Homo-oligomer: A and B are copies of this chain.
Amino acid sequence: MRPLITLLTDFGTADGYVAEMKGVLYSLAPEARVVDLSHDIAPQDVESARLAVARYWRRFPPQTIHLVVVDPGVGSERDALAVRSEDRVLIGPDNGVLSPALLVAGARAVSLQVPATASPTFHGRDLFAPVAARIAMGAPIDALGAAAESPTIRRTPEARRLGNGAIQGEVIAIDRYGNAITNIVAFPATQSREGEQAFVEVGGRTVPVARAYADVQPLGAVALCGSSGLLEIAVRDGNAAQTLGLGRGSTVTLHQQR
């Protein structure tokens, strides 16, 4: 099977930076399949990139190489990493963006050597892409550097249980539809336990918990278990973030009454 290299960046595509990276990849690893995941991460938004990585990195087949270049610290003393975790390899700056793979038991990280000729503004092209190509051509990550001592870890803040049994969390992301993803771990049957009635307080409103968007009327607000297992606030056929005035950090409280 030809090696698979995925790309996640905040470069956009119009400036040609991604094009340069692809040129390097196809030149150094001619057999690789290069797969765009996104280049539309908001500029320098490491947190969004981390949440995206958490969603996708393990869904790809073993041996996939994930390049993740959201790198506001490029050219600084920040480290650069290659991580082997659950049979995938992830490559990117040591700013927490690779945390989802680093937090898995058995993960190993090496610290990458920056080539003397690398542009201090574009490690995506001059460091990370060449490393991805070397791995695609068969290099083990141990050949690429010494073990990284204490890679940067970023974590989603944890929700907490209130005295009354409610769970208080916060919005961690707004998606393209305006859905507000929270840090409250939900479960598909949140709304259906017998005799319980769950609801959510958010943005000064009380929102029912249901299974699917379609369980409420059009333009009705609803809380549900999102596709990655987190409680999510949506407005059917609408935009919850706008309607309810939500953004990252907005408080969300889940009540489960008997």
- Measured CB to CB, the residues of A under 8 A from B are 1, 4, 6, 8, 10-20, 22-24, 26-27, 30, 34-44, 48, 51-56, 58-61, 64, 72-77, 119-122, 125-126, 173, 175-177, 188, 211-215, 224-227, 232, 237
Contacts and interface: CB of A to CB of B under 8 A. Distances in A.
A64 B6 CA distance: 21
Contact of A14 (B26, B42, B61, B121): B42
B227 A19 contact: no
A123 to B, nearest CB: 9
22 contacts: A13-B36, A14-B42, A14-B48, A15-B52, A15-B173, A15-B175, A18-B38, A19-B56, A19-B59, A20-B56, A22-B35, A22-B60, A23-B60, A26-B61, A26-B64, A75-B212, A76-B213, A76-B214, A77-B214, A119-B225, A120-B188, A121-B227
Q: Which of A15, A35, A175 has the most CB of B within 10 A?
A: A15
Nearest to A44: B237
Given A61-B30, A75-B212, A120-B211, A37 B56 contact: no
Contacts of A4: 26
A104 to B, nearest CB: 16
Contacts of A26: 4, 35, 60-61, 64
Given A6-B19, A59-B24, A76-B212, A13 B38 contact: yes
Given A43-B176, A60-B27, A19 B75 contact: no
Nearest to A73: B214
A237 B51 CA distance: 20
Contact of A39 (B13, B52, B64): B13
Contacts of A11: 176
Chain multiplicity (copies):
3
Q: Which 4 A-B pairs have the closest CB atoms?
A: A23-B59, A75-B212, A76-B214, A16-B52
Given A8-B19, A13-B39, A121-B232, 16 more contacts: A11-B176, A15-B52, A15-B176, A19-B37, A20-B56, A22-B37, A22-B56, A26-B64, A27-B59, A43-B176, A44-B237, A75-B212, A75-B215, A120-B213, A121-B226, A121-B227
A11 to B, nearest CB: 7
Contacts of A75: 211-215
Contact of A121 (B12, B13, B73, B212): B212
